Structure 1
Amino acid sequence: MSLPEVHLVAGTVGEALRLAPVALAMREQGRLTAVPVATGTDPDAVGQALAAFGLTPRITLPSGDGHAETMRRFDELWAVRTPAAVVVRDSLAPALAAFWRRVPVLTVDAGRRSGEFGSASALEPQRRLLAQVTTVHLAATPLAAMNLLDERVIPGDTLLTGGTAQDAAQLLATRTLAAPPRGHRTIVLGVPAERAEAIGPALRYLGGRYPDLEVVRAADFAPGLESATLLAQAYLVVTDDEDLVEEALAAYCPVLMIGFAARHAEALHAGSAKLVEPDPAAITSETADLLEHRVRRDAMALGGNPYGDGLAAYRVAQATAALLGHGQFPDPMPVKPTAGVAR
């Protein structure tokens, strides 16, 4: 008897890194057939990220020109090959296509909110719309679960699982521990090119004061093993990318976070991330402070990762199986941050 087929839809590298551990957990539990689906504007990059975990997309379906075309493509796919359930993160169009075909939708990292509803970014309204068609909301933190309750999501439809970025970091660590140390303190800069042009030179100026300092751009490293190795050895990450914040904290690397506090309130509360103004002088000053005072940097690292405990993928896989009638739903993640070890 064949196992129920579950499609895990990744439209970005960040989604692929978070859904890969779920696919592996489903394989290990043996109750479901996990089918990674690579979509988005660059499905090859998604496939490359999955490959770091020994996974290959079973289906590759590039997104269309807009949500309507992407929905049509997924509807045609699922008319022929209908899954028992679909797991997404931020991919609204596939979730809508599944919803209209009455296929259950599970959303990982559910309930993330930035408070930037009126900004140019489409993510906030997209995530709120996604919540309306989600069957089971798999929240990474209690705050994310509370956001869903505030939006009148039925409490019984939400499960606190933790975030799978921690699971991904631990899986990749088994292949990155043997990497040789870089021999200096590395600052990872994860910002768009236009912002890097302003911030990069300011940070590199610190090289005159700290000869062991190296500033590198996160975009210059391939997703998966190469990026995980970089974060595992980094002294500090400076970024406005909310995904990179989580990935750095999963590697117990402290973060100077450029942007709105609401994006990562949990990390700010834990002390593992610090908010900084989007000004080169302010960023350079905060960076210099952590370079000059190692104890402050290490205290941030000890704040740990409030977004997961390394067991989120197993909870997501178990919850998906339970939704489809195979076993029971897991217990929620204990509300206790994971402590890190300072390097």
Structure 2
Amino acid sequence: MNQLSAKHRPARILTIFGTRPEAIKLFPVVHALAADPRLEPVVCVSAQHRQMLDQVLEIASIVPDHDLDVMKPDQSLDALTAVLLTGLGSVMDEVQPDRVMVQGDTATAMCGALAAYYRKIPVDHVEAGLRSYNIYHPWPEEVNRKIIGSIASLHLAPTETAAGALRKENVDPARVHVTGNTVIDALHWVTARIGEEPALANGLAELEARFAGKRVIGVTSHRRENFGDGMAGIAEAIRTIAQRPDVAVIFPVHLNPNVRKVMNAELAGLDNVALIEPLDYPHFARLLDVAEIMLTDSGGVQEEAPALGKPVLVMRETTERPEGVAAGTAKLVGTDAATIVTEISTLLDDKGAYEAMARAHNPFGDGKASARIVELLANEIGIEA
């Protein structure tokens, strides 16, 4: 254990992230680190998602200490990995952190962990232990998580299921801690901000007025394994369900051209479908609030929507978040258009089916994960309060 007495400088924690979901799940931890005099957060972003990342940084009032700005159009995974690994390594050489923190399963997180390992810097993995047990679903995220898991010093698992998966892989149980998911911390924080400043999330007012009286279905889709036929199936399902006069679809379309090309070709101009630009975090929280159902292939939405009592239909064949499926808050529906339409119609037409999902217990946390993580870090380093 790296012992650091209270007389010395605060322990320097290099927190690395690059995508919008990572930023959402790590900004509450950065806030908690900054509020603790025992710890010194240094923030490095890769900007794996530039525009969507910046939206979260702005609302969370986080100014990165280092910004790699790595993303290029149609960049291959191996090219992205190479530039991330060397760029993050250079930042570590400059910062000389005591520990490196990464979150989840992105290329940024995996490369951050690997660069730290090459320098023998301990790695703390937030949202550790999620497994689908299929290396191609989600792809490449499943393998990214497993690589990080083989490197991490502290495994900060969001649920007991995730912690159990790590123990089954022979991770030292003393290294595994159940903290809850920081996405619930973030949702509580942004909801409180919107309560204080309603103007932060009033940009959907025009759409809400346009679709008044209709049952809103919120959609997000961006997974690589769904590019091609999967996206076509999703678009077909949305086109079909939008023919119902009682339904409206609000779809913030991901910036990736593999998503945009399909959705614009199939759905643009439909009266009951609003294809809109990606939402900043407050407006996305507002979409979760106004939607009756969330249709998604995202991981984070599987955790966020149940916190607001919204059923989630997951357009994937497997999920590394089985807790939601087990609890009844989420259901796997794949990308077959007919299946998606059937499952949405069931929720719209069967009140009992809807209530069973809406009232199911959210298994992903109580909004106090960040405080637990900070205390675990301080204890690991050996700093007394």
Same fold (TM over 0.5): yes
Q: Aligned residue for 1:338?
A: none
Distance 1:135 1:229, change over 3 A: same
From 22, 26, 38, the equivalent of 1:31 is 38
Alignment TM-score, normalising by the size of structure 1: 0.87
From 82, 89, 92, the equivalent of 1:75 is 89
The yes-or-no answer on 1:186 pairing with 2:204 is no
Alpha-carbon distance, 1:122 to partner: 2.1
Q: Aligned residue for 1:203?
A: 238
Asked if the contact 1:13/1:46 (under 8 Å) is kept, the reply is: yes
Q: Aligned residue for 1:302?
A: 359
Distance 1:75 1:262, change over 3 A: closer
Mapping for residues 61-72 of structure 1, pairs under 5 Å: 61-63=68-70, 65-72=79-86
* Deviates most, 143-152 or 66-75: 66-75
Tell me the distance in 1 between the aligned counterparts of 2:12 and 2:123.
13
Tell me the distance in 1 between the aligned counterparts of 2:135 and 2:377.
30
Alpha-carbon distance, 1:63 to partner: 4.1
Distance 1:83 1:251, change over 3 A: farther
Mapping for residues 284-323 of structure 1, pairs under 5 Å: 284-323=341-380
Mapping for residues 105-144 of structure 1, pairs under 5 Å: 105-117=123-135, 121-144=139-162
Paired AA for residue 186 in structure 2: A
Alignment TM-score, normalising by the size of structure 2: 0.78
Asked if the contact 2:52/2:278 (under 8 Å) is kept, the reply is: no
The yes-or-no answer on 1:176 pairing with 2:211 is no
Alpha-carbon distance, 1:197 to partner: 4.5
Distance 1:289 1:135, change over 3 A: same
Alpha-carbon distance, 1:242 to partner: 2.0
Alpha-carbon distance, 1:120 to partner: 8.1
Distance 1:25 1:282, change over 3 A: same
Secondary structure at the aligned position of 2:321 is classed as helix
String of CA shifts for 1:208-258, please: whole Å, max 9, x gaps. 5443x2112133332311211111221111112223322323333210112
Alpha-carbon distance, 1:176 to partner: 3.1
Asked if the contact 1:39/1:60 (under 8 Å) is kept, the reply is: yes
Q: Aligned residue for 1:336?
A: none
Asked if the contact 1:169/1:251 (under 8 Å) is kept, the reply is: no
Distance 1:99 1:26, change over 3 A: same
Asked if the contact 1:5/1:32 (under 8 Å) is kept, the reply is: yes
Q: Aligned residue for 2:20?
A: 13
* Deviates most, 178-187 or 151-160: 178-187
Identity of aligned residues (%): 29
Distance 1:72 1:201, change over 3 A: closer
The yes-or-no answer on 1:256 pairing with 2:313 is yes
Tell me the distance in 1 between the aligned counterparts of 2:126 and 2:298.
18
Q: Aligned residue for 1:272?
A: 329
Q: Aligned residue for 1:163?
A: 181
Tell me the distance in 1 between the aligned counterparts of 2:380 and 2:60.
26
Asked if the contact 1:114/1:260 (under 8 Å) is kept, the reply is: no
Q: Aligned residue for 1:60?
A: 67
Distance 1:209 1:47, change over 3 A: closer
Distance 1:302 1:30, change over 3 A: farther
Secondary structure at the aligned position of 1:217 is classed as strand
Asked if the contact 1:9/1:37 (under 8 Å) is kept, the reply is: yes
Secondary structure at the aligned position of 1:52 is classed as helix
The yes-or-no answer on 1:147 pairing with 2:147 is no
String of CA shifts for 1:86-110, please: whole Å, max 9, x gaps. 1101311111111222222100110
* Deviates most, 193-202 or 118-127: 193-202
Tell me the distance in 2 between the aligned counterparts of 1:74 and 1:206.
45
- Count residues with an aligned counterpart: 327
Instruction: Give the unaligned 5+ runs of structure 1.
Output: 329-343
Q: Aligned residue for 1:86?
A: 100
Tell me the distance in 2 between the aligned counterparts of 1:196 and 1:262.
18
Q: Aligned residue for 1:245?
A: 302
String of CA shifts for 1:305-331, please: whole Å, max 9, x gaps. 212211111111111222222248xxx
Asked if the contact 2:66/2:91 (under 8 Å) is kept, the reply is: no
> Considering only aligned residues, what root-mean-square deviation do their CA atoms show, in Å?
2.4
